[in-house]
Amino acid sequence: MENASKALIIAGAILVSIILISLGIMVMNSTGNVTGRMQEEMDSTAIQSFNSKFTQYAGKQKGSTIKELINTMQSSNASSDHKVEIELTSTKFNGTLNAADKKNGAKIQAALKLTTTYTVNIDTNQTAGSADQGYVNKITIAD
């Protein structure tokens, strides 16, 4: 009889231990989810902050405004891991530009007509799993 009561006490202690361990695991999992969501929010905020430097220029813009955009792009490329490319597809510019010059920010700046209206298209990286996913990666200047 004495052994049976001791066995019940030991069994109860084991049961309580299992319950406490299970609760601890549940708390750890819920904390991990919060941490993951916070990291995703921080990443999303960083992407929005980076992209806002460029998206304000999307649409119809004068050449003088596009020169500001190119300056912004060049300073961003110098200070950020996320590089932005530029391409001129418009036919309205001063002088002649070869294919390489149409992707060179400084050459594009020099060729733009200040009072001419251009269309600026901003593209983001949609490659799943890429470190640059969601970031602006290309600016196209068209007619």
* Tokens, residue 114: 């200040």
The pLDDT of residue 1: 62
- In which element (H, E) is residue 59 found? strand 59-62
Number of domains the chain is built from: 1
Question: What percentage of residues in the chain have a pLDDT greater than 90?
Answer: 19
Q: Which band of pLDDT confidence, cut at 50, 70 and 90, is reported for residue 30?
A: confident
The pLDDT of residue 122: 92
Domain that holds residue 85: 2-142
Average pLDDT over residues 82-109: 84
Inform me whether the pLDDT recorded for 2 exceeds 90: no
Smallest CA-to-CA distance from 86 within 142, 139, 143, 141 is with: 139
Q: Residue 114, SS3?
A: coil
The pLDDT of residue 32: 65
d(CA 46, CA 42): 6
Inform me whether the pLDDT recorded for 79 exceeds 70: yes
Average pLDDT over residues 51-65: 90
The pTM (predicted TM-score) of the whole model is 0.67
Q: Which band of pLDDT confidence, cut at 50, 70 and 90, is reported for residue 121?
A: very high
Higher pLDDT, 97 or 57: 57
Q: Which band of pLDDT confidence, cut at 50, 70 and 90, is reported for residue 62?
A: very high
